[in-house]
Amino acid sequence: IEMRSIHQPAPTYVEQSTEAQILVTGIKVLDLLAPYARGGKIGLFGGAGVGKTVLIQELINNVAKAHGGFSVFAGVGERTREGNDLYHEFIESGVNKKGGGEGSKAALVYGQMNEPPGARARVGLTGLTVA
């Protein structure tokens, strides 16, 4: 296991790919109307209960099963129940193995809504470091 600080400088432009590629999500409406850039950053913003987590679940499932890729889910301000549900959903769907480890395709990082703001702010940085 490699230990890293969550406070790191961003990659230089030389280290980043300049080739524009589309991330094929397997969700036809996204691929057609709002395609995501491969290797880019994706932000999903919306009110409570509108389906953000369901969409992310489907994206992670498709990336893991269709492409053999790995995903990092950083839940900033998530409810404890929703985080637990997502963990068990990934186990049931075969994306992750129980307890994590070998064969798991997604890392889940949470800063729950009852945590202080400083702890929640570090969740995003931790997710980027894991990725």
Whole-number Å distance between alpha carbons of 83 and 79: 6
Q: What is the DSSP pairing of strand 106-112 with strand 71-78?
A: parallel
Whole-number Å distance between alpha carbons of 70 and 85: 19
Q: Which residues are catalytic?
A: 52, 78-79
Closest by Cα among 28, 73, 31, 77 to 54: 73
